[in-house]
């Protein structure tokens, strides 16, 4: 073995693979996203990207923000082709969002290929995907 880590080995047809990248953007995520973008996924999606630059909004409660994010992501999820691959970043950010995403996947008979987490990802979400056996242990920290 040459010591090279291949995070996408064994995930099946790459164009149909479904990945989650948990945690806020950082330089380690940028390196992973560079590798993912070379794999020709159908979509790279994040709630921030779907919201776009938009109009400056009033400050809302975290509960209202959660509802808004779930509604936005639900519209995207159920409007895409079921067999198309995707990379989700910044979602799910909470355990509630993770459980809702699991329900959506189950409703469409789909499975995630793998989940990657940065060091600052929300621990309950990381633990959820670790328990499901989907978390790929990989260091996404910036190289020295």
Q: What is the SS3 assignment for 45?
A: strand
Checking if the pLDDT of 3 tops 60, the result is no
Structural domain contains residue 141: no
What pLDDT is recorded for position 143?
Answer: 46
pLDDT for 44 equals 67
Place of tokens 């987490």: 117
Question: Does some domain include residue 20?
Answer: yes
Tell me, what DSSP letter sits at residue 16?
A: G
Mean pLDDT of the chain: 76
Range of the domain at 44: 14-49+61-131
Give the mean pLDDT of 22-38. Answer: 62
Task: Answer yes or no: is 142 within a domain.
Answer: no
Residue 5 lies in a domain: no
Of 41, 34, 38, which is closest to residue 16 (Cα–Cα)? 41
User: For the chain, how far is it from start to end, CA to CA, in angstroms?
Assistant: 23
CA 97-98-103 angle, to 5 degrees, is 95
Total count of domains within the chain: 1
Q: Which of 24-28, 77-81, 138-142 has the lowest mean pLDDT?
A: 138-142
Q: What tokens were used for 109?
A: 């008979």
CATH number reported for the structural domain that contains residue 35 in this entry: 3.40.50.300
Q: Check: pTM over 0.75? Answer yes or no.
A: no
Is residue 77's pLDDT more than 90? Answer: yes
pLDDT category of residue 29 using cuts at 50, 70 and 90: low
Please check whether residue 99 lies inside any domain of the structure: yes
User: Looking at residues 108-130, what average pLDDT do you find?
Assistant: 90
* Residue 38 lies inside a defined structural domain of this protein: yes
Give pLDDT, residue 6: 45
């Amino acid at each position: 073995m040459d010591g090279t880590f291949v995070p996408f080995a064994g995930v099946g047809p790459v164009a149909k693979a479904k990945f989650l990248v948990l945690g806020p953007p950082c330089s380690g995520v940028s390196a992973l996203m560079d590798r993912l973008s070379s794999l020709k996924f159908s979509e790279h999606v994040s709630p921030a990207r779907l919201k776009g630059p938009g109009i400056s909004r009033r400050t809302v409660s975290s509960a209202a923000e959660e509802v808004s994010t779930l509604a936005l992501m639900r519209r995207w999820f159920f409007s895409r082709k079921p067999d198309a691959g995707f990379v989700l970043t910044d979602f799910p950010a909470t355990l509630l969002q993770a459980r809702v995403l699991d329900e959506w996947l189950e409703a469409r008979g789909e499975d995630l290929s793998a989940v990657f987490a940065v060091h600052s990802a929300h621990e309950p979400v990381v633990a959820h995907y670790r328990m499901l056996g989907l978390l790929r242990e990989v260091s996404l920290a910036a190289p020295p």
